Amino acid sequence: MKKTFIKKLRFLPLMLTIAVFISMFSFFTAYADEPTNNYTAKIGNTYYTSLKTAVESAKNGDVIEPANERVVITSGEKAELKSSVTINGFTFGDGGFISAAGNYDFSLKNCKFTAQNSYINNGVRTPVSLSVKGKLTVSGNDFSKAADNAYFNCIETGYNGIYEVQNGSVFSENNFGNIANNAISIYSVSDNAVISIVKNNFKNSTNPIRLGNTRYKSVNAIFDFKYNTSDTGSDFIILKDDGTTNENHEIFSGYKINIANLKNNKTGIMASSNNPRQYFVKNNGAVNQTSNMPAVTFNILPEPASASPSAVETPGLQPTIIPTLPPAETTTAPPTSEPTAAPTLEPTAEPTMEPTPDPTTTPTAEPTIEPTEEPTFVPSAEPTAAASSDPEATNSPSTEPGSDPTATPSFDPEASISPIPTPEATANVPTQTPEPLYLVSINADENITNVKLINKETASETEMVRATDTADKVLFTASVPNGAYDISAIAIEGKEPDLKNSDISLNVNGYDISGTVVTQDAGTIDHIEIATPPTKTEYINGEKFDPTGLVLNIINTDGTSSNVVYDETTKDSFTFKPGLDTEIPDIDVYSGDRFINIIYGNRLAKQELTFIMRYASAEIKAPASNQRVSFDVKIPGNSYYTSDQAEWDPTVYPGSNFNYGTVYTAAVTLHANDGYTFSKDEGAMTAYINNKPADIVNISEDGKSMTISHQFYKTSVMGGGNSGHSTGTTPTATPKPNLNTYDHFAYIVGYPDGYIRPESNITRDEVATIFFRLLTDKSRSQYWSQVNYYVDVPADLWSNNAISTLTKAGILGGDGTAYFKPTAYITRAEFATIAARFSDVVYSGTGKFGDVGGHWSENYVNIAAEEGWIQGYEDGTFKPDQLITRAEAMTLVNNVLNRHVRTSGLHKNMKTWADNKDKNEWYYTAVQEATNTHDYERPAGSTYETWTYIGRNPDWVQLEQKWSDANSAGSIN
């Protein structure tokens, strides 16, 4: 037995090792399954599945952090700012970038950018793109972990001359690796702005800094460069003029550049003058270069006693909480106190968004979505839906790779050398103003031993302090923030609080408040319940509570029970708070409390009420020509509803201005508070916008939300006219752009492989290009533009001219935010809307299709159907949200242009397609019409034409260059 025991001991180390391994495996398995794996970002203890969602849900001052230490952003996060926020501590890998747009302050701190795939190979071109008209703080970020020249630019701001970088913006302590073009590009700044670029480390790039002025006028601004280091042997700052006309140049003479302690890491030389030059102005020669040069000063500061830490060492906010329970409804998760490590490069969840690819020289990839139901299109009955065209290729951007990277230097500390404000150090924790507290005093009789305040909204409890005692009174006090509170009191044995003669709740609303609690002998009723609610539980504001029909179930302490009906014989035994003589809801006393307190036998039950609103109002800043768009909605104080941001038709975007000569309609969706609804009785609801009667667009089935709208006066035309306010005159209508219905040229060119792919889908930028090509020369020149307000339509996008021009003409809109989504496939409703905007029809009849009533596109679809351009399906539906095919698109465009041909009218020399050979296919002639340039004859009164000659298809690349040369309005680079 002894030997057997000893043999067993020999295996003890192995057994312990296995046990430890199993324990570790269980730990890591449990850790891997923790709920935050499904989340990307968090604000405090609230979790979000994407960084975009977190940004758009944030409140002013919120700090957005990774949901856990393993989060890596591998998709494009495009967010509309709705408040001033900070993004802190994220890692962006291949495919990851942040694009933010809006009129709020924005901070990006302590993030890492680690892409290994070059932008040339469909990687991310610019990982930080900020169209923000607010103060920017970009600090402590590290771009050096990315592969050499993975990024073309690192940070782009002030795009389009619309989103100007504001005074006080700071770019500090960032570490840039080897960049193909510019590390920081600032395209425009606000008047008299002071921009600080401090303590950054730049490795190799064509030029570390690019400054622009796409506002195309003289702008006074100061750029303060201090304690920056650079490995670049070429110009440190480039000021590049991309203007193309004398009236449209980027003017730099109002810029002042302060350079202090700019050190070249390769040579160790500190820049003390412009020889060798450390900045450079490049233009096209039309503006005198000397007069266009900004003022520059150079300074060498004394060496400090000690060096400040490198930017890459700057500590930042790190995730400190790992929740251990699943977040409720995908939002919050209870935290634990276990800290987390810094973010790593290994993603744990599939990315939620795909990055937007750079323009390429190949046509749009063939989609995989097929129509689910064949429409009833025939040559004589016009179909519905969308169109496409192939993008024109642009040259890929060239790059100048820098030299080999060198070690990152530490930065010199700041010294006081100029009046330019020094950026504050990065704070680890946002400063929050404490919520004010107010004193609550409860005067109780001597029988009360404890008093608590219970917040009605949060259910949090505050124990009151027994302050002073007198012969028969006790004073309890507590300090609490604003809110509505229930009072909970405990009495000595044999006594209980007298609910009828005591305060049972109070409202703290910006001032100290007091209440009273008295006692009575304990009764024999244990509790009461509402057996039958009152007959009336829905009230119009201002009515008084009616308890008729109320039945209580009385449960006694001995276990017996009985019912009591409220009537004339029992009413004196009931007490109601608020009383039956009080108009409800009494906002001054009960903060709109939607409960009636029912007291019987010194016991309490609460009856919930619903209040029906018959009136609502909102205020919106009225549109005025060339004035900044506002989406803010103001509702009256003490209202029982909230509001979404305004939506404008035609669509407008954050940071943009209202157009000239345009009629705008604002729509506002209101949401009733808990316990409140909007009246659905016909004719009962009255709504106002800016004190003018508003149209009630829709009230939800449950009455919880209501959309109202108001059409404003047409904004003034260029040079005068209506200013956006009533003048008592009828404003002149702005002409719509016209389409060329006379020349029958090919507006779709097909694919190089000889296929036309009629049943494939079509993208939004392809559709824009079709209608752009079909404009008359006069309309194209009248509305020509190369500038737009979309975050995702840069100047070098192949379809920029088309999208910008049609947006200016009011034909195109984005997706309701600052994005156009050019590569997204277009739906039948979206295509019909574009076509309908060329129509002068005003439709007021019944709906044409069974499934478009209440759809956002209803009016446009009905107009297109009234014109005879579209038809639906055999079941009477239109399927507005279904993707449109190329064949459907060509058919609709042909209908708009009145281009119809039968098979017998085609020309023998026409171009044909490998996948459009079947003459019995419903779209056969429509495809041939769209893809062949031809002369034609059409007998008087006939719908159909006969082709007489096949011409050469237009060279769209050459034509667009010709249009651009003739109409250029400048572009953005």
Region 785-797: mean pLDDT is: 80
In whole angstroms, what is the distance from residue 578 CA to residue 546 CA?
12
For the chain, the domains span: 39-271, 435-495, 525-607, 623-712, 762-825+882-957
For the segment 231-256, the average pLDDT, to the nearest whole number, is 72
Q: Contact 498/520 with Cβ under 8 angstroms?
A: yes
**Does residue 210 or residue 468 have the better pLDDT?**
210
Cβ-count burial 764-780 (b if 16+ within 10 Å, e if not): bbbbbbbbbbbbeeebb
pLDDT score for 966: 59
d(CA 665, CA 320): 47
What is the structure's pLDDT at 670?
94
Confidence of residue 37 (pLDDT cuts 50, 70, 90): low
Which among 304, 520, 269 is positioned nearest to 417, based on CA atoms?
Answer: 304
CATH fit for domain 525-607, picks 1.20.272, 2.60.40, 2.160.20, 2.30.30: 2.60.40
* Rounded CA separation 795/814 (Å): 16
Of 184, 450, 292, 373, the closest CA to residue 876 belongs to 373
State in Å, rounded, how far the first CA of the chain is from the last one: 87
What's the one-letter identity of residue 422? Answer: T
Bridge-partner residues for 517, per DSSP? Answer: 444
- Mean predicted confidence (pLDDT) in 704-726: 65
Q: Give 316-333 as a DSSP string.
A: -------B-SPPBTTTB-
Q: Are 152 and 210 in contact (CB under 8 A)?
A: no
Cα 924 → chain centroid:
42
Contact assessment for residue 150 and residue 123, using Cβ atoms and an 8 Å cutoff:
yes
Greatest C-alpha distance within the chain: 117
Beta carbons within 10 angstroms of residue 281's beta carbon: 22
pTM of the model as a whole: 0.37
Measure the CA dihedral 801/806/812/815, to 10°. Answer: 30
Cβ within 8 Å of residue 833, ≥6 positions away: 857, 860, 861
* Per-residue pLDDT, 213: 81
pLDDT, position 593: 65
Q: How far apart are CA 106 and CA 80, in angstroms?
A: 11
Helices (H), 273-410: 289-292
Angle CA 212–215–218, to nearest 5: 85
Angstrom CA distances, 303 to 270, 485, 831, stand at 12, 61, 65
Instruction: Please list the alpha-helical segments (H only) found in 512-670.
Output: 587-590
Dihedral sign from CA coordinates of 744, 749, 755, 758: negative
Least confident of 156-165, 557-566, 633-642: 156-165
Please give the single-letter amino acid code of residue 405.
P
Closest CA to 45 of 322, 316, 318: 322
In this predicted model, what pLDDT tens digit does every residue of 830-845 receive, in sequence order? 999 899 888 888 776 6
What are the distances in angstroms from CA 233 to CA 147, 172, 967? 20, 22, 39
Is the N-terminal amide bond of 585 cis, ω within 30° of 0? Answer: yes
What does the block give as tokens for 210?
A: 């690019």
Name 398's bridge partners: none
Q: Which one, of 624, 626, 623, 617, lies nearest residue 648 by Cα? A: 623
The yes-or-no verdict on residue 307 having pLDDT over 60 is no
- Provide DSSP, 391-457: PPP-PPPP--------PPPPBPPP---SSSPPPPPPPSS---PPPP-EEEEEEEETTEEEEEEEETT
- pLDDT attached to residue 426: 37
Q: How far apart are CA 280 and CA 85, in angstroms?
A: 35
Burial class (CB in 10 A: 0-12, 13-18, 19+), 227: buried
As a whole number, mean pLDDT of residues 146-172 equals 84
pLDDT at site 349: 35
Per residue in 133-147, pLDDT tens?
889 999 999 999 999
Tokens encoding 526: 């244990």
> How far, in Å, CA of 624 to CA of 205, rounded?
44
Answer whether residue 217 shows pLDDT above 90. no
Residue scoring higher pLDDT (158 or 882): 882
- The band of 459, judged by pLDDT with boundaries at 50, 70 and 90, is confident
CA distance 810 to 824: 20
What is the structure's pLDDT at 391?
Answer: 35
Q: For residues 540 and 612, is the Cβ–Cβ distance under 8 A?
A: yes
106-109 sheet: strands from edge to edge:
46-48, 41-43, 62-66, 85-88, 106-109, 136-139, 170-172, 193-198, 221-226, 255-260, 295-299
Residue 225 has pLDDT above 80, yes or no: yes
Q: How far apart are CA 27 and CA 38, in angstroms?
A: 19
The confidence score (pLDDT) of residue 404 equals 37
| pLDDT value at 329 more than 60 | no
What pairs with residue 176 in β-bridges? 202
> C-alpha 858: how far from its chain's center?
25
DSSP for 594-608, written as a single string: -EEEEEETTEEEEEE
Contact 594, 611 (CB under 8 A): yes
Q: How confident is the model at residue 188 (pLDDT cuts 50, 70, 90)?
A: confident
Strand partners, 113: 92
Check: CB of residue 621 under 8 Å from CB of residue 639.
no
Each residue's pLDDT tens digit, 669-687 = 999 988 889 998 888 888 8
pLDDT reading at 18 higher than 60 = no
pLDDT at 384 over 70: no
Q: What percent of the chain has pLDDT over 90?
A: 31
Confidence at residue 840, expressed as pLDDT on a 0 to 100 scale: 82
pLDDT given at position 887: 93
What is the percentage of the chain residues whose pLDDT exceeds 70?
74
Residue 735, both tokens: 């002409």
Q: Of the spans 162-176, 583-597, 814-828, which averages the highest pLDDT?
A: 162-176
Is the pLDDT at 487 greater than 90? The verdict is yes
Contact indicator for 668, 648 with CB cutoff of 8 Å: no
pLDDT band at residue 252 using 50, 70 and 90 as cut-offs:
confident
pLDDT at 409 exceeding the cut of 60: no
Question: Radius of gyration of the chain from Cα atoms?
Answer: 35
Of the listed ranges 626-630, 709-713, 860-864, the least confidently predicted one is 626-630
As a whole number of angstroms, the distance between CA 40 and CA 73 comes to: 8
In Å, what is the CA distance from 442 to each residue of 499, 514, 614? 14, 6, 39
Over 90: is that where the pLDDT of 3 sits? no
Least confident stretch, 315-319, 629-633, 751-755:
315-319
Query: CA 25 to CA 31: how far, in whole Å?
Result: 10
pLDDT tens digits, residue range 559-615? Answer: 999 999 999 999 999 999 888 887 776 543 334 467 888 999 999 999 988 888 888
What pLDDT was estimated at residue 387? 34
Eight-class DSSP state of 137: E
Q: Give the residue-averaged pLDDT of 861-885.
A: 88
32-36, 152-156, 390-394, 965-969: which is most confident: 152-156
In which element (H, E) is residue 767 found?
helix 764-774
Tokens 């000569």 identify what position? 661
Buried (b) or exposed (e) across 17-34, using 16+ Cβ within 10 A?
Answer: eeeeeeeeeeeeeeeeeb
Give the start-end residues of each E strand in 557-675.
561-565, 574-577, 595-600, 603-608, 610-613, 615-618, 641-643, 647-649, 665-672
Which residues, 6+ apart, have CB-to-CB distance to 239 below 8 Å?
A: 210, 211, 212, 250, 252, 255, 279, 280, 281, 282, 294
pLDDT of res. 336: 36
Find, among 932, 762, 874, 837, the residue nearest to 389 by Cα: 762
pLDDT at 684: 85
Q: Is the pLDDT of residue 181 over 50?
A: yes
User: Rounded to an integer, what distance in angstroms lies between the CA atom of residue 287 and that of residue 281?
Assistant: 11
Judged against a pLDDT cut of 80, whether residue 786 lies above it is answered with: yes
Mean pLDDT, range 521-533, rounded to an integer:
93
438 in Cβ contact with 482 (< 8 Å): yes
pLDDT at 550 over 90: yes
DSSP secondary structure letter of residue 827: B
Amino acid found at 501: N
Residue 76: the pLDDT is 84
pLDDT at 278 exceeding the cut of 70: no
Whether the per-residue pLDDT at 963 is higher than 60: the answer is yes
Instruction: Please state whether beta strands 153-157 and 128-132 pair in parallel, antiparallel, or not at all (unpaired).
Output: parallel
State the chain's mean pLDDT as an integer. Answer: 76
pLDDT of residue 249: 72
pLDDT, residue 30, reads 38
CB 385 within 8 A of CB 744: no
* Residue 410 exposed, middle or buried by CB count within 10 Å (0-12, 13-18, 19+): middle
Question: Is 722 in contact with 713 (CB distance < 8 Å)?
Answer: yes
* Contacts with 855 (C-beta within 8 Å, 6 or more apart), sequence order: 829, 861, 880
Q: Check residue 431 and give its pLDDT.
A: 45
Average pLDDT over residues 627-637: 84
**175 closest CA partner among 149, 213, 150, 138:** 138
